[in-house]
Amino acid sequence: MSVTIYTNLKKRQRLNSPLYAIIDRQACGLKDPEKIAKECVSAGVRILQLRDKTEGIGAFYKNALLIKRITANRALFIINDRADIAKLSGADGLHLGQSDLPIKSARALLGPRAIIGKSCHSLKQALNAEKEGADYVSIGPIFKTPTKPGYRAVGLGLLREARTRLKVPIVAIGGINKDNIALIKKANVKTAAVVRAVCKSKNVTKAVGDLERLFQ
């Protein structure tokens, strides 16, 4: 097996890691993204996404370069929405929303080894994303969350149904914290995405440890 193939397989295996931490400056109270990334990776988080809906493209790109160096060979690094920043920063992949680039177009830009995920809010959307070539789908918001004020919670039922219908990895997202993360595990989903539960914590290492312990 070539080094390239081995490295790609190792990256994809990380899609089954328990925690998927999303660094969002607005949701995280304008904390330093680089600092949060260092703390997350040191605490054992193996998937990090950088999301920024408020900063300019220059700041987004700068933070992407910083976090790419932190995650190198230690964690998957995913960029939200911006395929151009994902490519230029050397990120491992891209996360798309329902109104973003088609997966096929993103794949053409980023290449076959890029990990591409898609946000889905219904079973139909999730099945379509898998058919279009998504490497994983995120389903949510499972619980009510201020990160997605315009969306109703889809609940655990959709998560369970998706688990029986999809072959690609599923990431549960939306309002997940230490009080409800065990419910995600009971739905037989291996990965939970968290935003405020980690990045707004005063002690990121403890927050990550507590969440992983409750998710076992």
Which of 183, 208, 216 minimizes the C-alpha distance to 42?
Answer: 208
User: pLDDT grade, residue 7 (50/70/90)?
Assistant: low
| Torsion angle defined by CA atoms of residues 63, 54, 178 and 11, in that order, rounded to the nearest 10 degrees | -40
Q: What pLDDT does residue 10 have?
A: 61
CA 72 – CA 91 distance, rounded (Å): 9
Concatenated DSSP letters of 151-178: S---HHHHHHHHHHH--S-EEE-SS--T
Would the pTM of this model clear 0.75, i.e. be above it? yes
Q: What pLDDT does residue 82 have?
A: 96
Query: Cα Rg for the chain, rounded, in angstroms?
Result: 16
Percent of the chain scored above 90 by pLDDT?
81
Q: How far is CA 69 from CA 37, 77, 90, 142, in A?
A: 10, 10, 10, 32
pLDDT tens digits, 157-206:
999 999 999 999 999 999 999 999 999 999 999 999 999 999 999 999 99
Number of domains into which the chain is organized: 1
**Cβ-based neighbours of 95, under 8 Å, separated by 6 or more:** 49, 51, 78, 79, 80, 81, 116, 117, 118, 119, 138
CATH code, domain carrying 8: 3.20.20.70
Q: What pLDDT does residue 2 have?
A: 44
Phi, psi of 199, rounded to the nearest 5 degrees? -75, -20
Q: What pLDDT does residue 6 have?
A: 40
User: pLDDT grade, residue 55 (50/70/90)?
Assistant: confident
Q: What is the DSSP letter of 20?
A: E
Q: How far is CA 160 from CA 21, 135, 142, 155, in A?
A: 22, 19, 11, 9
pLDDT at 37 over 80: yes
| Domain hosting residue 182, numbered range | 3-215
pLDDT tens digits, 88-137:
999 999 999 999 999 999 999 999 999 999 999 999 999 999 999 999 99
Return the residue matching tokens 């899609």.
15
pLDDT tens digits, 150-171:
778 999 999 999 999 999 999 9
